[in-house]
Chains A and B, each alone.
Chain A
Amino acid sequence: MAARAVVLPAWRSLTPARRREALQGLLFISPWLVGFLAFTAYPMLASLYYSFSAYKILAPPVWVGLRNYAYAFNGDPLFWLSVQRTVIWVVVTVPLGIFGSLLAAVLLNRGLKGTNLYRTAFFLPSLTPTVAAALLWTWILNPRFGIANAAIEGLTGLRGPNWLADIDWALPSLAMISLWTAIGGNRMLIFLAGLQGIPQELYEAARVDGAGPIRTWWNITVPLISPAIFFNLVLGIIFSFRVFAFAFVVTEGGPARATYFYALHLYTMAFRSFDMGYGSALAWILFLTVLVLTVLNMQLSKRWVYYESLR
């Protein structure tokens, strides 16, 4: 009601020309608005309701209160198993991905001969569709016929691991595949843009003051690209928690659930067991977890992210 009271007088106070303009604006954004309401807002609200119900899709949902959430935390052994696998994944792939992308960006920023060629070469893997990359790597990592083990055996005389067929190696193998597609992608470009945006005078001043490369890197480069690092960190965490496609295509969560990630558990519950109520609860737990981590990141960012324009 309060919103109505505020909006209507404002609307009335507009001149006919301004009203027409406002309507035109609304008309322009209406495709997005309709899409957002129909395909994002409504499904999200519906899934929130379903998460408090026993919903098997073909029958109407039945309200069960917090039962799905209680079962997730206190009854479903695969919930904690999948959380553990996913947290390991996030802890491994996010820092490595950021570090690798930053390293690639720094190398490309050195102005070496053929930089454009290197930039294209680095960027190409990120253009490979996930499924294609996954299938390509299953052959590369085939323990008997793959080129990875052939190379290891040829160079060292030792037999390579069983990669995706081994309980201990499956998750690191998937991480390796994921990093191959991610390191040279958008993350690298964002770092590269950040590096190229650093004024050269700052480096020259540091050199005059006698700063070495490490000091220059730590006191000039890192602070000035810290917004890019922060941006990539937040997005990296969000995307890593959603890890699904590689495990779904390559390992189906195996062997022995070594790669059974949270999103795979969510998918299995919702679309294989048709336990859509529980699947919705899992989705909301994931959403809230990522939301909390993002807010936490935002808070912590005040301590280490340097925004020149805010100074």
Chain B
Amino acid sequence: MAAISRRRFLGLTAAVGGGALLAACGGGAPAPTATPVPVAKPFATVAPTSAPAAAGGAAGGSTASSAGANAAEPLITAKPPQRPEPITLRFHFRAGGDKSEPAIYVERPGEWSQVTGHKIALEPIPSGKEYPPKIVALATAGNLGDLMFTSVSEANHFFFVQNKLIEPVDDYLPKYNIKKEEWVSAIIKTLTIGGKMYGMPKASNPAEAHFAINLKLFEEAGLKKPEIYGNSFDDLRNWAIKLTKGPPDRRDVYGIYSHTYANQAVTNGVRARGADLIDAAGEKSLVDSPQFNDWLQWNYKLYREDKVHPMPDVLKPGDSNALAGMFAAGKIAISQIHRSWMVAFKTAVGDKFPWMFVQHPKLPNAKGWVANIDTHSATTQSKYKDEAFTLTYALADRRFAYVVAKGQGYLTGRVDNLEAIGPELAKDPFLQIQQKCTEEEEPWWIAKNLRQLEVEAELLNQLDTVWLGKRPPDKAFIGDLKKALDDVLAKPPL
């Protein structure tokens, strides 16, 4: 083994340490970690055979593509101005939300790349709790990409707007001949803040405004096939009681699953009865309304009196895969369903039994379903705002509606969804209900202090005490709940 003097050792140590320090300090902006989407993607393999016509002309001109079914139809209708050199857009998107969202982020961006010649570096970030902190960390470091996903339901959209992380779209819409009327009005109202519209709607959905029905269990129970629209709350409860099998403390079949573990579902339940959860100003809760009480009592009966609803020990709240599994196994006869659970339900049920969807019951004075919107937005830190905007539009246009309906089984927020997806797909009864419910959407309430997540956490934790039998759903409970929610709404703004 070669000897090394102390002086030599110290010199080497200093050199290595100094080099490492310099490397750490002088790295500059890190390169995107994701692999850029290749321009020459084989789109022919993903192009639809019945691609619908795309929306009208665009400022940047239309580009015909042989990848579509009709060569005269453009893949991309809003095309950015030419650049001498191709650029690469960094795109932060929510991964892991809907089952196969990455498919959306590969196919459609690939088409945009093919037409524009630019590349896209996809940078997936897990959805839910992880998404906002990572975006905030990137923004704080001045390293935010060119465009990103935002969500109204996860409450980050308004936070990003308030903190000026995303660009308003008002200047870009006329430039690319895009009309706001392409999307349902509730979306435009929700995304318009301080007179400016933020984000291009990836999708809007009415949340859990539908129920899936196991028709085999209906038939076995001697119940006739329900109507799609116009069912009452009593209808659902009575069916659930008749469909339930087994002893009360451990059912073999639960009659119904009513989603009580999400603010959007609670809000829909109250709106269906003609009220709302939070006032329009976002400053006071409205849980002391008779409509909220009706919602509370109806669900309490399902949980605790009729015992026709699975308790959290049987079905973990919010576990849509387990819910789909229980429905497919015939353990739950009627299940409230969110559009993003469709893939899981369809996969689980297959052709095991005939099933259908009905709309969530609603009273004649019902308010609209929540407009549960996801967007893509160009960021304020982007150097390529035009390119970023046109890509966000490619993820909101007619062709996108088709790609999503075909691949994901749900609709986006376009008014012309059913036309855009073509006659074959439009036959799908679930998509038809979705479109009707989407058109009935109204803007979701926004806490004025932007503390939606805290409001939701308070609401669901307090409700837990009722579902788990710790408190009766009486006036005292509602009084305490109202105070707790109002306290959160009175906190300083974020």
Interface residues of A (CB under 8 A from B): 24, 27-28, 30-31, 34, 54, 56-59, 77, 143-144, 162, 165-167, 253-257, 260, 268, 271-275
Bound-complex Cα distance A262 to B47 (A): 52
Cα–Cα distance between A255 and B462 once the two chains are bound (Å):
9
Closest to B454 in A: A273
Nearest CB of A to B442, in Å: 26
Q: A54-B492, A256-B468, A274-B132 are in contact. Are A166 and B462 (CB under 8 A)?
A: no
B129 pairs with A143, CB closer than 8 A = no
Residues of A near B311 (CB, < 8 A) are 162, 165
CB pair A166 B313 closer than 8 Å: yes
Q: Are B314 and A144 in contact (CB under 8 A)?
A: yes
> A27-B10, A77-B487, A256-B462 in contact; A165/B312 too (CB < 8 A)?
yes
One of B116-124, B133-141, B212-220 at the interface: B133-141
Q: Which residue on chain B has the smallest CB distance to residue A28?
A: B13
The SS class assigned to the A binding surface is loop
Q: Given contacts A255-B468, A256-B465, is CB(A273)–CB(B10) below 8 Å? A: no
Residues of B within 8 A of A268 (CB): 454, 457
- Residues on the A chain within 8 Å of B461, using CB: 253-257, 260
Residues of B within 8 Å of A58, CB to CB, are 136, 139-140, 163, 165
- Is there a chain A Cβ closer than 8 Å to B105's Cβ? no
- CB-based contact A56/B494 at 8 Å: yes
By the criterion CB–CB under 8 Å, are A162 and B136 in contact? no
In angstroms, Cα B13 to Cα A273, docked, is: 44
Collect the chain B residues with CB atoms within 8 Å of residue A253's CB: 461
Q: Chain B residues near A273 (CB, 8 Å)?
A: 451, 453-454, 494
Is B14 an interface residue when CB atoms closer than 8 A count as contact? yes
- How far in angstroms is the closest Cβ of chain B from A64? 9
Interface residues of B in 78-136 (CB under 8 A from A): 129, 132-133, 136
Q: Which residues of A contact B139 (CB under 8 A)?
A: 58
User: Hey, which chain A residues are within 8 Å of B465, CB to CB?
Assistant: 167, 256
Given contacts A56-B494, A166-B313, A273-B453, 16 further A-B contacts (CB under 8 A): A24-B10, A27-B17, A30-B17, A54-B492, A143-B313, A144-B313, A165-B312, A166-B468, A254-B461, A255-B468, A256-B461, A256-B464, A256-B468, A257-B461, A268-B457, A274-B132
Task: Give the residues in chain B near A57, CB-CB below 8 Å.
Answer: 136, 140
- CB pair A167–B451 under 8 Å, yes or no, is no
B8 interface residue per 8 A CB criterion: no
Tell me, yes or no, whether B470 is within 8 Å of chain A by CB: yes
A79 to B129, CA, bound (A): 21
Task: Determine if B453 and A255 form an interchain contact, defined as CB atoms under 8 angstroms apart.
Answer: no
CB pairs A–B below 8 angstroms (30 shown): A28-B13, A57-B136, A57-B140, A58-B136, A58-B139, A58-B163, A77-B484, A143-B313, A143-B314, A144-B314, A162-B312, A165-B311, A165-B313, A165-B316, A166-B313, A167-B470, A253-B461, A256-B461, A256-B464, A257-B461, A260-B461, A268-B454, A271-B129, A271-B133, A272-B129, A272-B132, A272-B453, A273-B454, A273-B494, A274-B136
| A254→B464 contact, CB < 8 A | yes
State the CA gap A249–B288 with chains docked (Å): 34
Is A255 a contact partner of B464 (Cβ separation < 8 A)? yes
Q: How many A-B residue pairs have CB under 8 A?
A: 71
Seen from chain B, the residues whose Cβ lies within 8 Å of a Cβ on chain A are 10, 13-14, 17, 21, 129, 132-133, 136, 139-140, 159, 163, 165, 311-314, 316, 451, 453-454, 457, 461-462, 464-465, 468, 470, 484, 487, 492, 494
Bound CA–CA A199/B312 (angstroms): 55
The distance from the CB of A270 to the nearest CB of chain B, in whole angstroms, is 9
B159 A274 Cβ-Cβ under 8 A:
yes
Q: Are A31 and B10 touching (Cβ within 8 A)?
A: no
In the bound assembly, the distance between CA atoms of A272 and B452 in angstroms comes to 11
Pick the contact of B14 from A27, A143, A144 — CB < 8 Å?
A27
Query: What residue of chain B has the Cβ atom nearest to residue A269's Cβ?
Result: B454
A167-B464 in contact (CB<8A):
yes
A residues less than 8 Å from B453 (CB atoms): 272-273
- B318, closest chain A residue (CB): A252
Tell me the bound Cα distance from A164 to B300 in angstroms: 21
**Cβ–Cβ < 8 Å partners of A143 in chain B:** 313-314
For B165, the chain A residues whose CB sits under 8 A away are: 58
**Which residues of the partner chain A approach B492 to less than 8 Å between Cβ atoms?**
54
Q: Which of A27, A54, A143, A272 has the most CB of B within 10 A?
A: A272
Kindly list chain B residues whose C-beta atoms are within 8 Å of the C-beta of A59.
163
Inside 8 A of B129's CB, which chain A residues have their CB?
Answer: 271-272
Cβ of A274 and Cβ of B14 under 8 Å apart? no
Docked Cα-Cα span, A59 to B492, in Å, equals 15
Task: List 5 A-B pairs, minimum CB-CB distance, nearest first.
Answer: A256-B464, A143-B313, A58-B163, A162-B313, A165-B313
A31 vs B17: C-alpha distance when bound (angstroms): 8
Bound together, the chains give a CA A157 to CA B163 distance in angstroms of 59
The minimal Cβ–Cβ distance linking B247 to chain A, given in whole angstroms, is 12
* Chain A residues whose CB sits within 8 angstroms of the CB of B313 once the complex forms: 143-144, 162, 165-166
Output the least CB separation between B288 and chain A (Å). Answer: 19
Q: Determine the distance from Cα of A166 to Cα of B469 in the docked complex, in whole angstroms.
A: 10
B463 and chain A: residue at smallest CB distance: A256
Complex Cα–Cα for A5 and B17 (A): 31
State in angstroms the CA–CA spacing of A205 and B351 once bound together.
81
What residues of A have a CB within 8 angstroms of the CB of B470 in the complex?
167, 256
Q: Give Cα distance in the complex from A166 to B312, angstroms.
A: 9
- Nearest neighbor of A270 in chain B, beta-carbon distance: B133
